[in-house]
Protein backbone atom coordinates (compact mmCIF):
# COMPACT_ATOMS: atom_id res chain seq x y z
CA UNK A 1 0.00 0.00 0.00
CA UNK A 2 1.30 3.43 -0.90
CA UNK A 3 0.46 6.74 0.75
CA UNK A 4 -0.68 8.10 -2.60
CA UNK A 5 -3.33 5.39 -2.86
CA UNK A 6 -4.77 6.27 0.53
CA UNK A 7 -4.63 9.99 -0.36
CA UNK A 8 -6.57 9.32 -3.58
CA UNK A 9 -9.10 7.13 -1.79
CA UNK A 10 -12.04 9.09 -3.19
CA UNK A 11 -10.82 8.66 -6.77
CA UNK A 12 -10.32 4.90 -6.49
CA UNK A 13 -12.84 2.45 -7.88
CA UNK A 14 -14.84 0.53 -5.31
CA UNK A 15 -13.03 -2.72 -6.12
CA UNK A 16 -9.64 -1.04 -5.62
CA UNK A 17 -10.73 0.22 -2.20
CA UNK A 18 -11.70 -3.28 -1.14
CA UNK A 19 -8.35 -4.61 -2.35
CA UNK A 20 -6.58 -2.02 -0.18
CA UNK A 21 -8.63 -3.14 2.82
CA UNK A 22 -7.75 -6.75 1.99
CA UNK A 23 -4.08 -5.76 2.17
CA UNK A 24 -4.67 -4.23 5.60
CA UNK A 25 -6.27 -7.45 6.83
CA UNK A 26 -3.36 -9.49 5.48
CA UNK A 27 -0.77 -7.21 7.09
CA UNK A 28 -2.59 -7.39 10.44
CA UNK A 29 -2.86 -11.16 10.03
CA UNK A 30 0.90 -11.47 9.55
CA UNK A 31 1.50 -9.50 12.75
CA UNK A 32 -1.03 -11.54 14.73
CA UNK A 33 0.40 -14.79 13.36
CA UNK A 34 3.89 -13.79 14.49
CA UNK A 35 2.58 -12.93 17.97
CA UNK A 36 0.62 -16.18 18.10
CA UNK A 37 3.63 -18.17 16.94
CA UNK A 38 5.66 -16.74 19.79
CA UNK A 39 3.10 -17.93 22.34
CA UNK A 40 2.80 -21.33 20.69
CA UNK A 41 6.58 -21.69 20.68
CA UNK A 42 6.70 -21.10 24.44
CA UNK A 43 3.86 -23.59 24.94
CA UNK A 44 5.62 -26.16 22.74
CA UNK A 45 8.81 -25.83 24.78
CA UNK A 46 6.82 -26.29 28.00
CA UNK A 47 5.11 -29.38 26.58
CA UNK A 48 8.44 -30.82 25.43
CA UNK A 49 9.84 -30.24 28.92
CA UNK A 50 6.98 -32.09 30.56
CA UNK A 51 4.85 -29.05 31.31
CA UNK A 52 1.18 -28.62 30.64
CA UNK A 53 0.37 -29.05 26.96
CA UNK A 54 -2.25 -27.30 24.93
CA UNK A 55 -5.62 -28.89 25.47
CA UNK A 56 -7.87 -29.12 22.43
CA UNK A 57 -10.15 -26.14 22.28
CA UNK A 58 -8.10 -24.09 24.73
CA UNK A 59 -7.35 -20.46 24.02
CA UNK A 60 -3.66 -21.26 23.45
CA UNK A 61 -4.61 -23.58 20.63
CA UNK A 62 -6.44 -20.92 18.66
CA UNK A 63 -4.68 -18.40 16.46
CA UNK A 64 -5.95 -14.79 16.52
CA UNK A 65 -4.60 -14.49 12.98
CA UNK A 66 -7.51 -16.62 11.79
CA UNK A 67 -9.84 -13.69 12.52
CA UNK A 68 -7.77 -11.48 10.22
CA UNK A 69 -7.69 -14.31 7.67
CA UNK A 70 -11.48 -14.58 7.72
CA UNK A 71 -11.82 -10.79 7.47
CA UNK A 72 -9.41 -10.72 4.51
CA UNK A 73 -11.44 -13.43 2.79
CA UNK A 74 -14.69 -11.53 3.29
CA UNK A 75 -13.17 -8.26 2.08
CA UNK A 76 -11.65 -10.04 -0.92
CA UNK A 77 -15.04 -11.45 -1.87
CA UNK A 78 -16.46 -7.93 -1.59
CA UNK A 79 -13.76 -6.67 -3.98
CA UNK A 80 -14.74 -9.33 -6.53
CA UNK A 81 -18.40 -8.34 -6.26
CA UNK A 82 -17.53 -4.66 -6.69
CA UNK A 83 -15.45 -5.48 -9.77
CA UNK A 84 -18.33 -7.58 -11.12
CA UNK A 85 -20.61 -4.55 -10.84
CA UNK A 86 -18.01 -2.32 -12.52
CA UNK A 87 -17.36 -4.55 -15.55
CA UNK A 88 -20.78 -6.29 -15.69
CA UNK A 89 -19.30 -9.80 -15.90
CA UNK A 90 -17.37 -12.22 -13.72
CA UNK A 91 -13.99 -10.48 -13.17
CA UNK A 92 -11.52 -12.81 -14.85
CA UNK A 93 -10.94 -11.19 -18.24
CA UNK A 94 -7.62 -9.44 -17.45
CA UNK A 95 -4.57 -10.72 -15.59
CA UNK A 96 -5.11 -8.21 -12.79
CA UNK A 97 -8.63 -9.58 -12.31
CA UNK A 98 -7.42 -13.18 -12.42
CA UNK A 99 -4.71 -12.51 -9.84
CA UNK A 100 -7.25 -10.83 -7.57
CA UNK A 101 -9.42 -13.93 -7.82
CA UNK A 102 -6.31 -16.01 -7.04
CA UNK A 103 -5.58 -13.93 -3.91
CA UNK A 104 -9.13 -14.43 -2.67
CA UNK A 105 -8.87 -18.14 -3.48
CA UNK A 106 -5.64 -18.37 -1.45
CA UNK A 107 -7.29 -16.76 1.56
CA UNK A 108 -10.46 -18.84 1.34
CA UNK A 109 -8.48 -22.04 0.71
CA UNK A 110 -6.27 -21.48 3.74
CA UNK A 111 -9.35 -20.69 5.83
CA UNK A 112 -10.94 -23.98 4.72
CA UNK A 113 -7.73 -25.94 5.34
CA UNK A 114 -7.31 -24.34 8.76
CA UNK A 115 -10.54 -25.94 9.96
CA UNK A 116 -10.39 -29.06 7.77
CA UNK A 117 -6.87 -30.04 8.87
CA UNK A 118 -7.34 -28.85 12.44
CA UNK A 119 -3.64 -28.20 13.02
CA UNK A 120 -4.45 -25.79 15.85
CA UNK A 121 -6.15 -28.68 17.68
CA UNK A 122 -3.14 -31.01 17.53
CA UNK A 123 -1.17 -29.15 20.17
CA UNK A 124 1.09 -26.10 20.47
CA UNK A 125 3.70 -27.48 18.06
CA UNK A 126 1.15 -27.86 15.28
CA UNK A 127 -0.43 -24.53 16.13
CA UNK A 128 3.02 -23.09 15.43
CA UNK A 129 3.02 -24.79 12.00
CA UNK A 130 -0.48 -23.40 11.39
CA UNK A 131 0.74 -19.88 12.17
CA UNK A 132 3.71 -20.38 9.85
CA UNK A 133 1.42 -21.36 6.98
CA UNK A 134 -0.74 -18.30 7.63
CA UNK A 135 2.33 -16.04 7.52
CA UNK A 136 3.60 -17.54 4.26
CA UNK A 137 0.23 -17.36 2.50
CA UNK A 138 -0.60 -13.84 3.69
CA UNK A 139 2.81 -12.60 2.61
CA UNK A 140 2.20 -14.31 -0.73
CA UNK A 141 -1.08 -12.42 -1.10
CA UNK A 142 0.60 -9.12 -0.24
CA UNK A 143 3.32 -9.80 -2.82
CA UNK A 144 0.77 -10.76 -5.48
CA UNK A 145 -1.26 -7.60 -4.88
CA UNK A 146 1.92 -5.53 -5.15
CA UNK A 147 2.64 -7.22 -8.49
CA UNK A 148 -0.82 -6.68 -9.95
CA UNK A 149 -0.55 -2.93 -9.31
CA UNK A 150 1.70 -2.80 -12.35
CA UNK A 151 -0.92 -4.49 -14.54
CA UNK A 152 -3.69 -2.84 -16.50
CA UNK A 153 -7.01 -2.44 -14.70
CA UNK A 154 -8.91 -1.20 -17.75
CA UNK A 155 -12.23 -2.84 -18.46
CA UNK A 156 -12.34 -5.31 -21.34
CA UNK A 157 -15.46 -6.74 -22.93
CA UNK A 158 -15.82 -10.48 -23.00
CA UNK A 159 -15.30 -12.16 -26.39
CA UNK A 160 -18.27 -14.29 -27.50
CA UNK A 161 -16.62 -17.55 -26.42
CA UNK A 162 -16.47 -16.35 -22.80
CA UNK A 163 -20.08 -15.20 -22.68
CA UNK A 164 -21.23 -18.47 -21.17
CA UNK A 165 -22.63 -19.75 -17.88
CA UNK A 166 -19.55 -22.01 -17.73
CA UNK A 167 -17.22 -19.02 -17.34
CA UNK A 168 -17.51 -18.37 -13.59
CA UNK A 169 -17.69 -21.99 -12.29
CA UNK A 170 -14.84 -23.13 -14.57
CA UNK A 171 -12.54 -20.31 -13.45
CA UNK A 172 -13.49 -20.59 -9.76
CA UNK A 173 -12.91 -24.36 -9.66
CA UNK A 174 -9.50 -24.11 -11.33
CA UNK A 175 -8.26 -21.09 -9.38
CA UNK A 176 -9.39 -22.59 -6.06
CA UNK A 177 -7.62 -25.84 -6.94
CA UNK A 178 -4.47 -23.93 -7.89
CA UNK A 179 -4.55 -22.09 -4.56
CA UNK A 180 -5.16 -25.24 -2.49
CA UNK A 181 -2.60 -27.35 -4.32
CA UNK A 182 -0.19 -24.42 -4.08
CA UNK A 183 -0.63 -24.48 -0.30
CA UNK A 184 0.09 -28.22 -0.41
CA UNK A 185 3.29 -27.25 -2.23
CA UNK A 186 4.09 -24.78 0.57
CA UNK A 187 3.76 -27.62 3.08
CA UNK A 188 6.22 -29.61 0.98
CA UNK A 189 8.49 -26.56 1.06
CA UNK A 190 8.36 -26.55 4.87
CA UNK A 191 9.13 -30.29 4.84
CA UNK A 192 12.25 -30.00 2.69
CA UNK A 193 13.47 -26.89 4.48
CA UNK A 194 13.07 -28.70 7.81
CA UNK A 195 15.13 -31.60 6.49
CA UNK A 196 17.78 -29.27 5.12
CA UNK A 197 18.32 -27.17 8.25
CA UNK A 198 18.06 -30.13 10.60
CA UNK A 199 20.80 -31.74 8.54
CA UNK A 200 22.98 -28.64 8.58
CA UNK A 201 22.51 -27.78 12.26
CA UNK A 202 21.61 -31.12 13.80
CA UNK A 203 23.50 -33.63 11.70
CA UNK A 204 20.37 -35.40 10.50
CA UNK A 205 21.48 -35.56 6.87
CA UNK A 206 24.71 -36.37 5.11
CA UNK A 207 26.48 -33.48 3.38
CA UNK A 208 25.50 -34.89 0.00
CA UNK A 209 21.89 -35.18 1.13
CA UNK A 210 21.89 -31.60 2.35
CA UNK A 211 23.01 -30.24 -1.01
CA UNK A 212 20.59 -32.54 -2.84
CA UNK A 213 17.70 -31.11 -0.84
CA UNK A 214 18.96 -27.55 -1.39
CA UNK A 215 19.14 -28.26 -5.13
CA UNK A 216 15.55 -29.51 -5.06
CA UNK A 217 14.45 -26.35 -3.24
CA UNK A 218 15.87 -24.15 -6.00
CA UNK A 219 13.46 -25.75 -8.48
CA UNK A 220 10.39 -24.82 -6.45
CA UNK A 221 8.14 -22.18 -8.09
CA UNK A 222 8.29 -18.59 -6.86
CA UNK A 223 11.96 -19.16 -5.97
CA UNK A 224 12.88 -15.54 -5.29
CA UNK A 225 9.69 -14.45 -3.53
CA UNK A 226 8.89 -17.60 -1.51
CA UNK A 227 11.59 -20.26 -1.37
CA UNK A 228 14.69 -18.19 -0.61
CA UNK A 229 13.05 -15.86 1.96
CA UNK A 230 11.42 -18.80 3.75
CA UNK A 231 14.70 -20.75 3.63
CA UNK A 232 16.58 -17.82 5.18
CA UNK A 233 13.94 -17.09 7.84
CA UNK A 234 13.63 -20.75 8.82
CA UNK A 235 17.43 -20.93 9.06
CA UNK A 236 17.32 -18.19 11.71
CA UNK A 237 14.55 -20.04 13.57
CA UNK A 238 16.48 -23.33 13.56
CA UNK A 239 19.67 -21.56 14.67
CA UNK A 240 17.80 -20.04 17.63
CA UNK A 241 16.39 -23.46 18.51
CA UNK A 242 19.88 -24.96 18.51
CA UNK A 243 21.33 -22.13 20.60
CA UNK A 244 18.56 -22.47 23.17
CA UNK A 245 18.78 -26.23 23.26
CA UNK A 246 15.19 -26.57 22.03
CA UNK A 247 15.96 -28.39 18.80
CA UNK A 248 13.81 -31.54 18.53
CA UNK A 249 15.71 -34.80 18.58
CA UNK A 250 15.89 -37.20 15.64
CA UNK A 251 12.70 -38.99 16.71
CA UNK A 252 10.84 -35.69 17.03
CA UNK A 253 11.99 -34.54 13.59
CA UNK A 254 10.97 -37.87 12.05
CA UNK A 255 7.53 -37.54 13.63
CA UNK A 256 7.24 -33.97 12.28
CA UNK A 257 8.15 -35.13 8.77
CA UNK A 258 5.51 -37.88 8.89
CA UNK A 259 2.89 -35.38 10.02
CA UNK A 260 3.83 -32.91 7.28
CA UNK A 261 3.52 -35.71 4.73
CA UNK A 262 0.04 -36.50 6.04
CA UNK A 263 -1.04 -32.83 6.09
CA UNK A 264 0.19 -32.23 2.53
CA UNK A 265 -1.83 -35.22 1.32
CA UNK A 266 -4.95 -33.93 3.06
CA UNK A 267 -4.49 -30.51 1.45
CA UNK A 268 -4.05 -32.24 -1.91
CA UNK A 269 -7.25 -34.21 -1.30
CA UNK A 270 -9.16 -30.92 -0.97
CA UNK A 271 -7.74 -29.39 -4.16
CA UNK A 272 -7.71 -32.36 -6.55
CA UNK A 273 -11.52 -32.68 -6.98
CA UNK A 274 -11.73 -29.00 -7.91
CA UNK A 275 -8.94 -29.39 -10.47
CA UNK A 276 -10.77 -32.36 -12.00
CA UNK A 277 -14.08 -30.50 -12.02
CA UNK A 278 -12.44 -27.50 -13.68
CA UNK A 279 -11.09 -29.67 -16.50
CA UNK A 280 -14.45 -31.36 -17.05
CA UNK A 281 -16.32 -28.05 -17.13
CA UNK A 282 -13.73 -26.70 -19.57
CA UNK A 283 -14.36 -29.65 -21.89
CA UNK A 284 -18.12 -29.19 -21.81
CA UNK A 285 -17.69 -25.46 -22.37
CA UNK A 286 -15.38 -26.06 -25.35
CA UNK A 287 -18.00 -28.33 -26.90
CA UNK A 288 -20.59 -25.57 -26.70
CA UNK A 289 -18.25 -22.79 -27.86
CA UNK A 290 -16.10 -24.54 -30.47
CA UNK A 291 -17.99 -27.82 -31.11
CA UNK A 292 -15.00 -29.78 -29.82
CA UNK A 293 -14.53 -31.22 -26.35
CA UNK A 294 -10.75 -31.30 -26.63
CA UNK A 295 -8.76 -29.47 -29.28
CA UNK A 296 -5.22 -30.23 -28.03
CA UNK A 297 -4.64 -26.52 -27.50
CA UNK A 298 -1.36 -25.82 -25.69
CA UNK A 299 -3.18 -24.47 -22.62
CA UNK A 300 -5.36 -27.57 -22.51
CA UNK A 301 -2.29 -29.78 -22.78
CA UNK A 302 -0.53 -27.91 -19.98
CA UNK A 303 -3.55 -28.27 -17.69
CA UNK A 304 -3.80 -31.97 -18.59
CA UNK A 305 -0.12 -32.51 -17.73
CA UNK A 306 -0.73 -30.95 -14.32
CA UNK A 307 -3.70 -33.23 -13.69
CA UNK A 308 -1.75 -36.31 -14.80
CA UNK A 309 1.13 -35.48 -12.43
CA UNK A 310 -1.33 -35.49 -9.53
CA UNK A 311 -2.88 -38.73 -10.77
CA UNK A 312 0.62 -40.25 -10.75
CA UNK A 313 1.04 -38.94 -7.20
CA UNK A 314 -2.15 -40.71 -6.11
CA UNK A 315 -1.04 -44.01 -7.65
CA UNK A 316 2.48 -43.81 -6.25
CA UNK A 317 1.15 -43.03 -2.80
CA UNK A 318 -1.67 -45.56 -2.74
CA UNK A 319 -0.12 -48.41 -4.75
CA UNK A 320 3.61 -47.72 -4.63
CA UNK A 321 3.71 -46.84 -0.95
CA UNK A 322 5.47 -43.53 -1.59
CA UNK A 323 5.85 -41.47 1.57
CA UNK A 324 8.10 -38.69 2.79
CA UNK A 325 10.60 -37.13 0.41
CA UNK A 326 9.60 -39.25 -2.62
CA UNK A 327 5.92 -38.38 -2.33
CA UNK A 328 6.69 -34.73 -1.60
CA UNK A 329 8.89 -34.51 -4.70
CA UNK A 330 6.03 -35.60 -6.95
CA UNK A 331 3.66 -33.20 -5.19
CA UNK A 332 6.13 -30.38 -5.80
CA UNK A 333 6.26 -31.42 -9.46
CA UNK A 334 2.52 -30.80 -9.61
CA UNK A 335 2.95 -27.36 -8.00
CA UNK A 336 5.64 -26.54 -10.56
CA UNK A 337 3.31 -27.60 -13.39
CA UNK A 338 0.56 -25.37 -11.95
CA UNK A 339 2.96 -22.45 -11.93
CA UNK A 340 3.81 -23.07 -15.59
CA UNK A 341 0.14 -23.40 -16.59
CA UNK A 342 -1.03 -20.40 -14.60
CA UNK A 343 1.76 -17.85 -15.05
CA UNK A 344 4.57 -19.03 -17.34
CA UNK A 345 2.27 -20.28 -20.10
CA UNK A 346 1.93 -16.88 -21.79
CA UNK A 347 5.71 -16.69 -22.31
CA UNK A 348 6.04 -20.10 -23.99
CA UNK A 349 6.45 -20.11 -27.81
CA UNK A 350 3.51 -22.42 -28.49
CA UNK A 351 1.19 -20.22 -26.42
CA UNK A 352 1.29 -17.50 -29.09
CA UNK A 353 -1.29 -19.39 -31.18
CA UNK A 354 -3.36 -20.62 -28.24
CA UNK A 355 -7.06 -19.82 -28.06
CA UNK A 356 -6.79 -19.38 -24.28
CA UNK A 357 -4.80 -16.13 -24.13
CA UNK A 358 -7.74 -14.10 -22.88
CA UNK A 359 -5.91 -12.29 -20.09
CA UNK A 360 -3.10 -10.74 -22.18
CA UNK A 361 -3.75 -7.03 -22.64
CA UNK A 362 -1.65 -6.78 -25.79
CA UNK A 363 -3.21 -9.81 -27.53
CA UNK A 364 -6.25 -9.51 -29.77
CA UNK A 365 -8.57 -12.53 -29.47
CA UNK A 366 -8.11 -14.93 -32.35
CA UNK A 367 -10.57 -16.32 -34.84
CA UNK A 368 -11.53 -19.25 -32.67
CA UNK A 369 -12.49 -16.90 -29.86
CA UNK A 370 -14.54 -14.45 -31.92
CA UNK A 371 -16.02 -16.71 -34.58
CA UNK A 372 -15.15 -16.95 -38.30
CA UNK A 373 -13.33 -14.12 -40.04
CA UNK A 374 -15.55 -11.69 -42.00
CA UNK A 375 -14.38 -12.98 -45.38
CA UNK A 376 -15.00 -16.55 -44.34
CA UNK A 377 -18.48 -15.62 -43.09
CA UNK A 378 -19.20 -13.82 -46.41
CA UNK A 379 -18.19 -16.88 -48.41
CA UNK A 380 -20.47 -19.03 -46.29
CA UNK A 381 -23.38 -16.66 -46.95
CA UNK A 382 -22.72 -16.72 -50.70
296-306 pLDDT tens trace: 888 888 899 99
The least confident of 54-63, 96-105, 245-254, 261-270 is: 54-63
Give the mean model confidence (pLDDT) for residues 97-112.
Answer: 91
- Between 203 and 103, name the one with better pLDDT: 103
Burial of residue 110 (number of CB atoms within 10 Å: 0-12, 13-18, 19+): buried
Give the mean model confidence (pLDDT) for residues 125-148.
Answer: 82
* pLDDT value of residue 58: 41
pTM, to two decimals:
0.80
* pLDDT value of residue 317: 92
Mean pLDDT of the chain: 77
Burial of residue 225 (number of CB atoms within 10 Å: 0-12, 13-18, 19+): middle
Relative orientation angle of helices 14-48 and 95-117, to the nearest 10 degrees: 30
DSSP 345-372: GGGSGGGGG-TT--S-TT----HHHH-S
Q: Give the integer Cα–Cα distance in Å for 98 and 92.
A: 5
38-71 pLDDT tens trace: 666 666 666 555 554 444 444 444 568 889 999 9
Amino acid sequence: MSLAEWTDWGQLAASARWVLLMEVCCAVGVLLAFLGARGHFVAARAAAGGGASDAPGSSAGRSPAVVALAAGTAVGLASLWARYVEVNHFPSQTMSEVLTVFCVALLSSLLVLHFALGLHRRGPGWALVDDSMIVIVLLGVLGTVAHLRGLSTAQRDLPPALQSYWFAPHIVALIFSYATLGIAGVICLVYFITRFWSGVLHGGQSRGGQWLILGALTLIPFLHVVTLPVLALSGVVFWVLVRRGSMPDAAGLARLERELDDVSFRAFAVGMPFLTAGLWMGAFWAQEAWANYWGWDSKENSALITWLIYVVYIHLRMLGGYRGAKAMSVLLGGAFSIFITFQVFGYLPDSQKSLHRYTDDEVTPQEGQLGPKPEAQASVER
